[in-house]
Structure 1
Amino acid sequence: MAVSFGLTETFKNVFGGGKERVRIFFAPGRVNLIGEHTDYNGGHVLPCALAIGTYALVRQTDEPFVRFYSQNFPETGVITVSYGDLSYRREHGWANYPKGILAAFQALRPLETGLDILYYGTIPNGAGLSSSASIELVTAVMLNELFRRGLDQLELVKMSQNVENKYVGVNCGIMDQFAVGMGKQDCAILLNCQTLEHRYLPLVLDDCAIVIANTNKKRGLADSAYNERRATCEA
Structure 2
Amino acid sequence: MNTLSEARVSELFGEFFGSHPKALVKAPGRVNLIGEHTDYNGGFVLPAAINYHTYIALSPRTDRTLRVVAWNFDNADVVIPLTEEQQEDESNNWSNYIRGVVQQLCRAGFTLAGGDLYIAGDLPSGAGLSSSASLEMAVIRALLSLSGEVIAPTKAALLGQAAENQFVGCNCGIMDQLISARGQANSALLIDCQDLSARAVTMPGDWEILIVHSGVKRGLVDSEYNQRRQQCEQAAAHFDQTSLRAVDLGDLLDAEGILDDLSFRRARHVLTENARTLIAADALAKGDLSTLVKVMGESHISMRDDFNITTPTIDRLVEIIAAAGEGQAGARMTGGGFGGCVVAVAPAAVIPRLMAAVSHTYEQETGCVPTLIPAKASAGAFNN
- State whether TM-score is above 0.5: yes
- The aligned counterpart of 1:209 is 208
- Separation in 2, partners of 1:204, 1:99: 40
2:82 matched to 1:80? no
2:69 & 2:217 partners in 1: Cα distance? 22
**Contact 2:114–2:146 at 8 Å: present in 1 too?**
no
Compared CA separation, residues 226 and 8, structure 1 to 2 (3 A): same
- Give the Å deviation of 1:140: 1.0
1:63 aligns with 2:66: no
1:31-50 Cα deviation digits (max 9, x unpaired): 01111111111111111110
User: What amino acid maps onto 1:64 in structure 2?
Assistant: R
SS at match of 1:233: helix
Letter in 2 for 1:33: L
> Are 2:212 and 1:190 equivalent residues in the alignment?
no
- AA aligned to 2:214 is T
Matches within 5 A, 1:1-16: 3-16=5-18
State the Cα distance separating 1:61 from its structure 2 match. 0.7
CA 1:68–1:209 in structure 2 vs 1: closer, same or farther (change >3 Å)? same
Aligned-residue offset at 1:89 = 2.0
- 1:125-163 CA-to-partner distances (Å, cap 9, x unmatched) read 211000000000011122223323332111101111111
Query: SS where residue 120 of structure 1 aligns?
Result: strand
Name the CA shift for 1:154/1:22 in 2 (closer, same or farther; >3 Å). Answer: same
Shift in Å at residue 225 of structure 1?
1.5
Change in 2 beyond 3 A, CA 1:222/1:200: same
Q: Secondary structure at the residue paired with 2:209?
A: coil
CA-CA distance at 1:2 after TM superposition: 7.7
Contact 2:67 2:116 in 1 (8 A): yes
Q: Distance in 2 between matches of 1:110 and 1:196?
A: 23
Q: Distance in 1 between matches of 2:201 and 2:145?
A: 29
Matches within 5 A, 1:153-164: 153-164=153-164
Partner of 2:276: none
Partner of 1:17: 19
Say which SS state the counterpart of residue 52 (structure 2) adopts: strand
Tell whether 2:207 aligns with 1:218. no
Q: Deviations over 1:181-211 (max 9, x none)?
A: 11000111111111212211111442x3211
Taking a change above 3 Å as real, the CA distance of residues 197 and 108 of structure 1, as seen in their structure-2 partners, is closer
Tell me how far apart the structure 1 counterparts of residues 18 and 62 of structure 2 sit (CA, whole Å): 14
Task: State the alpha-carbon separation in 1 of the partners of residues 233 and 95 from structure 2.
Answer: 30
CA RMSD, Structure 1 to Structure 2 (Å): 2.0
For the structure 1 residues 205 and 93, does the alpha-carbon distance in structure 2 shift closer, same or farther, using more than 3 Å as the test? farther
What SS does the corresponding residue of 2:29 show, helix, strand or coil?
A: strand
Q: Which residue of 2 aligns with 1:181?
A: 181
Structure 1 residues 160 and 73: CA distance shift in structure 2, 3 A: same
> Residues 177 and 113 (structure 1 numbering): CA distance in 2 closer, same or farther, change over 3 Å?
closer
Bigger mean CA deviation after superposition, 39-48 or 103-112 = 103-112
| Structure 1 length-normalised TM | 0.91
Letter in 1 for 2:126: G
